[in-house]
Amino acid sequence: MIFSHKYAGDFVAFIAGFLYTLAFAPFDYAYLVFIALSMLFASWQRVTPVRAMLRGYLFGLSAFGLGVSWVYVSIHDFGHASVMNSSAMTAVFVGFWAMFPALAGYLCAKFAQSNRVLLMPVLWLLVDYLRGVWVLDGFPWLLAGYSQLDTPLAGYIPIFGVYGTGFIVALSAALMLGVVWRKALVLLMLWAVGSYLHTVQWTQPSGVPLHVALIQGNITQDKKWLPENKLNTLRLYKTLTEQHWGVNIIVWPETSIPAYLSEVEAFFLMPLHQAAQQHHTDLIVSLPIKNEASGEKYNAVMTLGSHVSDYRKQHLLPFGEILPWQPLSGFVLQQLGIKLGNFTAGGDNQPLLSAGGYSFITSICYEDVFGNHAIRGLENAAYLINVTNDGWFGNSIEPHQHAQMARMRALETGRFLLRSTNTGLTAIVAPNGKLIQQLPLFEVGVLQGEITPMTGLTPYARLGDKPVLMFLVGLLVVGWLTTFRKSTQ
């Protein structure tokens, strides 16, 4: 078999990584994910665990090398590191995350050879869960489930979330290996059920439509925090807002106000608050908040109009807002001349913000890639709001990937999503995960539309990821017990 040949199998695994990433935005060749995982799983058959680990690593290098190439843009173009240092840090980043497909390969070759169709998908997803939730507080980029937002398998997303759907993707890929009629029947049933589930309405409208306006200021990252640009930035957002007084909700993007709350509260925010009240509009802005007594800094969202309240970001970005692995990481970045933020996480039990007469789930930037964040308190929330700033990544594939992941939260929760970004892609997403409207990248604009408050909970919103995780662990135990019985007979 060609996949078991030493170098041919290595090459196949490496190419499979590229194909895997092409299944995600902005390429969106969704069905390539099945071919890529089938190629990878095939390359792990009848080889030593060490060889399978190497092939998993090669897969990871190509998948993440293409899929997170935007890291270089952030470090070099906006972190102002040299080409050499930016390349080195990007290579380390890619090499680190490539270890997870390598781990999956080792485990599959070691423990799944006699029950490949069942155990390979299970081990793949458990390693993905480890990467997406636990390591460095989670890096859930390029999870297989995200590629299926526009395929029949999207019907599973409101039930099982991104990880459960990812398992069905991996199982489909495993069933494609050496297809016989029984495997083909199971595969057909999986897809037929998914297609039917996509027609089920898990949530219901709970009020009249709300008129909304999402502002995209398009302030480039290299100019955003320059002191001489602060007043012009505030003037731009204020002018665009005044043109849309009277709508129910206006949303500004992440840190649209490039100053601490204490610096702008009196002369800028309070007059805005009073104007919002007069026009019966709720305004949602974003800015950093600093506790002068303790020196703690928070990345925050603030509501003005009917209520004045704030939400402080809970899930901070590693190596962007916090520095894990201290003091090593701080020392390395200092030597490279790269300065990053040092923020404090907000509390876990913050009350929901409200606008337009309804409470909503707030996520700031990176928080919207975590499904468990969007379902906390969802029973009391009518819609989702995400504010973000992908200006750090320029004209790379990252804004498209991030927007794809945000769409998943709308489908998982059965809620409309309002997503206001600095440089794009600002969007309104329906409860079925479909884009209703979207602004292009790198344009100043205001996206106007309507959303409907929703009530009810999807199965995923009720239960989260734990049932899927328990199911996978159960399958793992069953698979190993079956293998053990066969080996002792």
CB 399 within 8 A of CB 438: no
pLDDT, tens digit, 9 for 90 and up, residues 161-209: 999 999 999 999 999 887 666 778 888 899 999 999 989 999 999 999 9
Are 245 and 173 members of one domain? no
Quick check: 443 pLDDT over 80?
Answer: yes
Judgement on whether residues 447 and 470 belong to the same structural domain of the protein:
no
Distance CA 111, CA 483 (A): 9
pTM of the model: 0.92
Residues 256 and 375 in one domain: yes
- Cis bond upstream, residue 327 (ω within 30): yes
Res 3 pLDDT > 60: no
Which pair of tokens denotes residue 132? 């997406």
Q: Is 414 left (phi over 0), alpha (psi -120 to 50) or beta?
A: left
CA distance 473 to 193: 23
Residues 385 and 327 in one domain: yes
Q: Does 264 lie in the same domain as 400?
A: yes
Q: Both 59 and 128 in a single domain? A: yes
322 - beta bridge partners? 318
Q: How confident is the model at residue 329 (pLDDT cuts 50, 70, 90)?
A: very low
Do 186 and 227 fall into the same domain? no
Tally of domains within the chain: 2
Q: Are residues 484 and 392 in the same domain?
A: no
Angle at 217 between CA 340 and CA 420, to 5 degrees: 80
Across 271-275, average pLDDT = 97
State which residues form the domain around 176: 2-201+465-488
Mean pLDDT across 417-426: 95
The CATH number assigned to the domain holding 402 equals 3.60.110.10
Q: Average pLDDT for residues 96-102, to the nearest whole number?
A: 98
Mean pLDDT of 460-477: 94
Give the catalytic positions in this structure: 254, 313, 365
Residues 411, 472, single domain; the answer is no
The residue-averaged pLDDT of 423-442 equals: 96
Q: Are residues 273 and 323 both part of a single domain? A: yes
Query: Same domain, yes or no, for 255 and 112?
Result: no
Q: Say whether pLDDT at 349 is over 60.
A: yes
Q: What is the pLDDT of residues 205-224, one digit of tens each?
A: 999 999 999 999 999 887 88
Same domain, 381 and 474: no
Is the preceding omega at residue 26 within 30 degrees of 0, hence cis? Answer: yes
